[in-house]
Amino acid sequence: MTDPKGRRLSEARFGSDGVQVVQQEGVQMMKGSEKRRADHPIDELFLDRWSPRAMSGEPIPHTDLMVLFEAARWAPSSFNYQPWRILFVRRDSEHWPLFLDLLTTSNQIWASNAAALLLFISKTTFDHNGKPARTNSFDAGAAWENLALQGNLLGYVVHGMQGFDYDRAKSLLRVPEEYLVEAMVAVGKPGALEALPEKFQEIEKPNDRRPLEQTICEGPFRQDLWGLSKDKPVN
């Protein structure tokens, strides 16, 4: 199915167990909202996004990849300085082995079936005055979330990772000193669960989140809310 501009769109389907899934060219990906329950009335978009590992190894069209990057482009940032940059490779391209080899062995097992690998970095200084930008990682995170949500809407697996060699990434990919290496992302078309090693099959499902009251606090920081020892000073 395509939109009026001819771009492929994902379609909603229901499996034999009644669980709604995202279907993309015959391969099904579970929708997180069928397993997760929010305590407050939020849009299902936020529940549907999760981080599968099973990917088919099929290539991603250039147009689809640009749609993901376009979504990231419109993230908010301090002074609109947009500190994020994204280095990427597509499967079977010249630099694919270089990016893949940065991952931990455990992540290489499943990410080798991705269609693209991305590296998010962020500029730690403002362009207009050279001063430190304290929210560079915060803003880059907003761009990552935009990309992840857009990828889910198109029916793609979008899986963020910290399991890679940060120092080698900075060196081998020639990342300048004023940029911070943030995270890597695997993007691909959904694949068969059975193609994953058994240890990954067991965890291939949308996970939950801790209760909201364990995350928020009205007023100053309270040690009793987050399980910190009363004897340990808060810096």
Say yes or no: domain 11-225 is CATH 2.30.300.10: no
Widest pairwise Cα distance in the chain? 62
Q: Please tell me the predicted confidence (pLDDT) of residue 27.
A: 64
pTM here? 0.85
Residue (of 85, 146, 150) closest to 121 by Cα position: 85
Q: Please tell me the predicted confidence (pLDDT) of residue 228.
A: 59
CB of 188 within 8 A of CB of 68?
A: no
- The 10 Å Cβ neighbour count of residue 191 is 21
Residue (of 126, 145, 144, 146) closest to 134 by Cα position: 126
Tokens for 124?
Answer: 């730690």
**Phi, psi torsion values for 70, nearest 5 degrees:** -65, -40
Domain boundaries in the chain? 11-225
Please count the helices (runs of H) and the strands (runs of E) in the chain: 7, 7
Measured CA to CA, the distance from residue 13 to residue 22 in angstroms comes to 6
Q: Please tell me the predicted confidence (pLDDT) of residue 101.
A: 98
Q: Please tell me the predicted confidence (pLDDT) of residue 45.
A: 95
Sign of the torsion angle spanned by Cα atoms 169, 174, 178, 184: negative
Which helix (H) or strand (E) segment is 65 a member of? helix 62-73
β-strand partners of 123: 179
**Phi, psi torsion values for 62, nearest 5 degrees:** -55, -40
Give pLDDT tens digits for 165-183.
999 999 999 999 999 999 9
Give pLDDT tens digits for 198-218.
999 999 898 999 999 889 999
Whole-number Cα distances in Å, 179 to 136, 168, 187: 9, 14, 23
Q: Please tell me the predicted confidence (pLDDT) of residue 224.
A: 84
Residue (of 121, 53, 124) closest to 88 by Cα position: 121
Strand, helix or coil for residue 162: coil
Q: Name the stretches of the chain with pLDDT < 50.
A: 1-24, 232-235
Strand order in the sheet with 84-90: 84-90, 116-123, 179-188, 157-161
Strand, helix or coil for residue 180: strand
Residue (of 67, 32, 35, 66) closest to 52 by Cα position: 32
